[in-house]
Structure 1
């Protein structure tokens, strides 16, 4: 007769057994990324992760694009793994956006447990996902259960700085780190939204916009502020910005966006007006802004710089803008921006990252659907186009022509009233404890089935 399994042993072998303490350890490391010359904590996070993997016999290699900018690469393929299959990449980033402590209810790097949540910068973006993956892998090791295929795990530096010193650098300088990988899973997606009928829909990223951060500079003649000057650089720049900001970018009907909108109409019972898209999607809450931004290219002025004294007309004025383009429409967007700016404006690229898109099918997608169905029966999965960016930009298309299909699925079963979008990069960032546990169990299923 089989002996009953002790409940503590069962708990220790559960995929979610360590997800909360691992997440706390990660959050307590201040890995704020203030910019290329002012980032911290990435090496400390990489060493912590390397130690957790080493405990189960997994070796890691840490690359530095610059001193202190650490990216970790590891492979988990224990005995019993089907080595004839291509590797699945699970990846995340160690850095977080800065947090102003005075704005928070608690210390943003405390990892405090309060009101059923784990609080702290990175709890959602994206140390929670790292904890899910590590907890699930370590539990499978204790149970002696290998993954269905080799698992590549990469912890990138600098994602919050557009990935220049992380995924983009690794893809350009060490493409061998991606050898054999055909599919990848990371952020931003996998979180739930609740339909009017109470059914949860999980949005999974299948495509993301590319970005062009650029500086535009107007030059003119210096002069006294009390006199008219038809060669005023500030005026010339302001007029160019006005034309760019006022331009009505056309709806490009990307297939992933169109599928999401079609499924929204079915599940929410609301017709979509493409001319008033954000209002049509209001039932999605804050997510409506992200989805609405994905029907067209967008260009947003974010930084202005001109002059040094109120009565002096400067010789130059500049602005920095954040432009995001729908996959396949990069050059069209750039040409339009330059045409709207008009003559006398110079352009300088600050950062350029390609878009990414993948067919919503294959072993990874099938495993995501299956895992969510097991852990949340009745749930539906919706592919969506992300208006922001992820590390996928750095390696989805490698220099040798190798293509990796990248998906965003950080599994988060959220309460209907939980404002996930506002907390992402927001004040008092936190994640429900049962949501972390749910995510670790979903990742475990993906390891088994992908």
Structure 2
């Protein structure tokens, strides 16, 4: 405990770090306050709680979705636009060229992402207003209400995007990820209280067991996020003037889960389609009704079986487009590095690709298991709201964001010659890349 308080004191002793932490808290408070501001003309007492797929979306928005808030769409359209641009950089030569242009190319991609975010928000806001807000809750002319609300929702998303960028620039951690995490955590006290009140005093022991099980699940996710396979790289010695450079051994840390949470996001995006498509024939087909009801329930075994398979496939797909063994091998060869016992060039690329395939398979299976744990938690008697914290996107995002933030704080402490947050080892966040000089 003394070590803990000493670390807290050291953190706030660094003026820049203290300012960044206070800025982050202030921006997050603004974001949470905005999520309670209801759209003009909406009677919040007549709104219904989000359920099914909409309830799942509401988890990431901290309840703003079901409250018809000005931040009802939050940062989600920006994430969708970022995913689209990320895929375009793989498939379209123009975006590949922009990515290789350095800082100027990144600025152009950022501008395109912002414009695409506005377009996606306008489309999603129209669908949101039509499907989630009942007519009896609207106190204005329906046409004027829809136009005004689409503008307000788009402005709300742009403001959230601005907040995220400000947190990244003037705060601590990744701003966009931080906004998502705070929305998820905001629901934890409510869901935990509901879980405890549902079990009552007679189920106090069961509640304690559930919390202990949640602790071990979180530890497992931390291990999945941190696990790496280190490939040794030896650099040849170079004599420049009177000094000798190189000759040291470094490592390429290939992550077991190098794709992060993206496979789950991709899979969930496609899992919305069966319920939406089946709704078109729900009046005339029993099969369509069955598919719609089955895949609208995110806790059904059919949903989770398909969901798990898709996560495994998307893990391989996303790893293939984000980790390029050929580029890693070329960079090593250019800088005089080589893997002991492996020839530089093509054989090095094949060696890295082979290792990457071997570690991606168990990583993808573990990721799929984490994603479907909430369904097993509900079968064990955990309420649906609290079960969402046992796995899936929400838990992976929280663990990843917290590790990234702790990594930044630790780097500040070590840079100012303070003792780190851990006695041994280092905190490794998602942003750590391969150590290829």
Q: TM-score range, shorter-chain basis?
A: under 0.3
Q: Whose helix proportion is higher, 1 or 2?
A: 2
Bigger relative CO (Cα 8 Å, ≥ 6 apart): 1
TM-score (norm 1): 0.26
TM-score by length of 2: 0.26
More strand by share: 1
